[in-house]
């Protein structure tokens, strides 16, 4: 039995569950959130082919239930249906089918059904958690870009029920905050949470700023004012209508920026205050809804779960016994959740691993200007150390997650400020952004506290004082970094050990595929065509740019 889950909004996603195990979980890449869903559907057959599956092999198709679309694009729901198709009340084990119809995939017409989007988030998160693996229940908190933070409870038999909403602010606030509060020239749209964390890491949390944030949050979202009432009504009380949420949230952030300017508060301090307030509000309201429950095992998901500051605020709360933040990015998570709901027999443990995406594919023709030669991981590590150049590293099946590290990444020395600036230019990001840190677990205790035991880079770490000035590419102004352990990947582990042998530095900077640009690191061919770096390494083969006269560039 093979069930396929599809997410046809955002970057798109495709997942396969085969005989009760997740066989594929991948974003579909280069799918425009504002474009036709046809772009996502067209990638499905291609992605299936990359793992030697066909459209005909799929027994059931389930589409993640997002907001309906019009103008010839797929609409999830009847034409006169309201946009709210995934309200918090639909976080149950057996949510209603919100749409059904037929899609054409790879020239084949296939029937599909669609379930509520937030219910899919609950399913994807719980079914991949250690709590489901142990047959235990858990509390699931979903805060997505177009939803209010919603709480669900899943019992040990996989039955889920809604526990309500925490506050009427959509996760869109994290998407917009760095752009509205930060300096001009943001480049492309920043990733939720991560860009705000980097900007906040350059500032100081000040009581007067968090007080200002709290006052404006109340005025714009929760007060008994005409504007706040109109906002809550416009999003149907659930946050499912994206456009009113964007407009209203942008107005809130603009007012916040103006008030801060009037008081002489710079962008970094304002971001730090906003981040601290939202983390505190999330933990406070979670505790209110859990009053009397005692310590719980918590799953946190949705786009807001990409914010290390929010995950830290929840993890440190005394009511949270253990915490799980799934490593899947949003597109893959939506697809996994849709497929899990399509199984139709409650939520249960779905065995999985990180390497669930397609293979990078062969590069039959290397474009002019590139040399090709065999290269072991140890040789690549020495080359990165000797030249100081960043390198694209591609190997094996695409990671389903996490964002900062995986089988499609750019590795670079973390020791030179010029490298920080170069990586930000490559990713079209503002200058205050920092790359993630990749470290071996047995060396992490000497550099970070606590050590980097989390392979998914879901939490921030403090750097030891002696290392802060030595690692400017990954270190924020407040001395924190986003850290991922490399122990679960044999190639990355080898590269890091050899790099440390030559440099005496146990850390490399890393930009994951989602940090760079859509599709740039999808294949070797795409990386060479992009040409943003001098070195592209894929499964034992090094492609290196050859400059006029045969010269190769070095930073040393």
Q: Which of 17-26, 55-64, 282-291, 547-556 has the lowest mean pLDDT?
A: 547-556
CATH, residue 528: 3.90.870.20
Question: 522 with 400, same domain?
Answer: yes
Range of the domain at 263: 172-323
295 confidence band (pLDDT: 50, 70, 90): very high
361 confidence band (pLDDT: 50, 70, 90): low
CATH, residue 47: 3.30.420
For the chain, the residue count is 556
Question: 299 with 337, same domain?
Answer: no
| Residue 28 falls inside a structural domain | yes
Counting the structural domains of the chain, the total is 3
Question: 335 with 259, same domain?
Answer: no
Q: What is the mean pLDDT of the chain?
A: 80
Yes or no: say if 311 and 300 are a contact pair by the CB < 8 Å rule: yes
What's the pTM?
0.81
Question: 48 with 73, same domain?
Answer: yes
Question: 338 with 303, same domain?
Answer: no
Tokens of 480: 């924190």
327 confidence band (pLDDT: 50, 70, 90): confident
Yes or no: say if 280 and 309 are a contact pair by the CB < 8 Å rule: no
DSSP-based three-state secondary structure for 239: coil
| Residue 332 falls inside a structural domain | yes
Yes or no: say if 97 and 115 are a contact pair by the CB < 8 Å rule: yes
* CA torsion through residues 336, 339, 343, 346, sign: positive
- Left if phi > 0, otherwise alpha if psi is -120 to 50, otherwise beta: which for 116? beta
pLDDT digit string, tens, across residues 481-506: 888 777 677 888 899 999 999 999 99
Give the per-residue pLDDT at 316.
85
pLDDT at 73 over 50: no
Question: 295 with 313, same domain?
Answer: yes
| Residue 412 falls inside a structural domain | yes
Give the per-residue pLDDT at 256.
95
pLDDT at 48 over 50: yes
Give the per-residue pLDDT at 79.
33
Question: 178 with 307, same domain?
Answer: yes
| Residue 60 falls inside a structural domain | yes
Give the per-residue pLDDT at 87.
37
Question: 189 with 85, same domain?
Answer: no
Give the per-residue pLDDT at 529.
83
Question: 407 with 544, same domain?
Answer: yes
Tokens of 472: 């400017």
pLDDT digit string, tens, across residues 151-190: 999 998 888 888 888 999 988 898 888 888 876 544 444 4
Q: What share of the chain is helix, strand, coil (3-state, %, to 5)?
A: 35, 20, 45
pLDDT at 307 over 80: yes
Tokens of 350: 């779905």
| Residue 140 falls inside a structural domain | no
pLDDT at 417 over 50: yes
Question: 208 with 180, same domain?
Answer: yes
Question: 71 with 212, same domain?
Answer: no
| Residue 139 falls inside a structural domain | no
Residue 554 CA to residue 556 CA, distance in Å, equals 5
| Domain limit, last residue, from 264, 292, 323 | 323
Give the per-residue pLDDT at 518.
44
pLDDT at 40 over 80: no
Question: 196 with 280, same domain?
Answer: yes
Backbone angles phi, psi at 550, to 5 degrees: 80, 10
Contacts of 152 (CB under 8 A, 6+ apart): 91, 122, 139, 140, 142, 160, 161, 162, 163
| Residue 158 falls inside a structural domain | no
Query: How many percent of the chain have pLDDT more than 70?
Result: 78
Contacts of 50 (CB under 8 A, 6+ apart): 358, 359, 361
| Residue 486 falls inside a structural domain | yes
**Mean pLDDT (whole number) for 448-457:** 63
Kindly write down the DSSP assignment for every residue of 328-344, as one continuous string: --HHHHHHHHHHHHHT-
């Amino acid at each position: 039995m093979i069930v396929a889950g599809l997410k046809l909004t955002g970057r798109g996603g495709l997942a396969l569950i085969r005989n009760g195990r997740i066989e594929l979980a991948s974003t579909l890449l280069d799918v425009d959130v504002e474009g036709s869903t046809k772009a996502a559907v067209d990638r499905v057959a291609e992605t299936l082919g990359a793992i030697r599956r066909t459209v005909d092999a799929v027994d059931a198709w389930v589409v993640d239930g997002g907001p309906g679309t019009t103008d010839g694009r797929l609409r999830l729901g009847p034409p006169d249906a309201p946009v709210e198709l995934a309200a918090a009340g639909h976080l149950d084990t057996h949510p209603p089918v919100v749409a059904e119809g037929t899609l054409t995939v790879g020239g084949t017409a296939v029937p599909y059904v669609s379930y509520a989007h937030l219910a899919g988030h609950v399913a994807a998160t719980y079914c991949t958690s250690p709590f489901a693996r142990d047959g235990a229940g858990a509390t699931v908190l979903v805060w997505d870009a177009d939803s209010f933070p919603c709480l669900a409870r899943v019992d040990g038999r996989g039955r889920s029920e809604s526990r309500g909403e925490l506050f009427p602010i959509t996760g869109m606030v994290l998407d917009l905050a760095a752009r509205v509060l930060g300096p001009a020239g943001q480049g492309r749209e920043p990733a939720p949470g991560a860009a705000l964390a980097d900007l906040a890491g350059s500032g100081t949390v000040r009581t007067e700023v968090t007080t200002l944030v709290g006052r404006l949050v109340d005025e714009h979202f929760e007060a008994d004012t005409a504007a706040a009432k109109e906002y809550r009504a416009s999003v149907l009380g659930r946050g499912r209508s994206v456009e009113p949420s964007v407009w209203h949230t942008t107005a809130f952030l603009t007012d916040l920026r103006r008030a801060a300017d009037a008081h002489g508060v710079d962008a970094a301090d304002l971001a730090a205050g906003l981040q601290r307030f939202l983390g505190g509000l999330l933990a406070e309201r979670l505790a209110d809804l859990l009053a009397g429950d005692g310590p719980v095992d918590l799953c946190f998901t949705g786009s807001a779960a990409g914010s290390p500051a929010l995950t830290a605020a929840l993890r440190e709360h005394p009511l949270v016994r253990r915490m799980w933040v799934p490593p899947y990015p949003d597109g893959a998570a939506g697809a996994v959740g849709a497929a899990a709901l399509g199984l139709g027999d409650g939520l249960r443990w779905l065995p999985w691993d990180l390497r669930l995406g397609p293979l990078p594919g062969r590069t039959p023709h290397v474009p002019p200007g590139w040399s090709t030669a065999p290269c072991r991981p140890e040789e690549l590590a020495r080359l990165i150390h000797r030249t100081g150049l960043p390198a694209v590293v591609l190997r094996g099946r695409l990671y389903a997650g996490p964002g900062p590290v995986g089988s499609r990444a750019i590795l670079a020395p973390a020791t030179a400020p010029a490298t920080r600036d170069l990586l930000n230019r490559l990713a079209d990001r503002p200058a205050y952004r920092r790359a993630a840190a990749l470290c071996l677990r047995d060396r992490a205790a000497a550099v970070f506290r606590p050590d980097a035991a989390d392979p998914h880079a879901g939490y921030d770490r403090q750097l030891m004082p002696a290392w802060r000035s030595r690692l400017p590419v990954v270190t924020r102004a407040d001395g924190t970094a986003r850290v991922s352990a490399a122990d679960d990947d044999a190639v990355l582990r080898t590269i890091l050990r050899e790099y440390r042998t030559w440099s005496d530095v146990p850390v490399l900077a890393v930009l994951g595929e989602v940090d760079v640009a859509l599709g740039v690191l999808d294949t070797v061919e795409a990386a060479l065509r992009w040409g943003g770096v001098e070195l592209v390494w894929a499964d034992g083969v090094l492609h290196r740019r050859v400059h006029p006269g045969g010269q190769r560039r070095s930073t040393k």
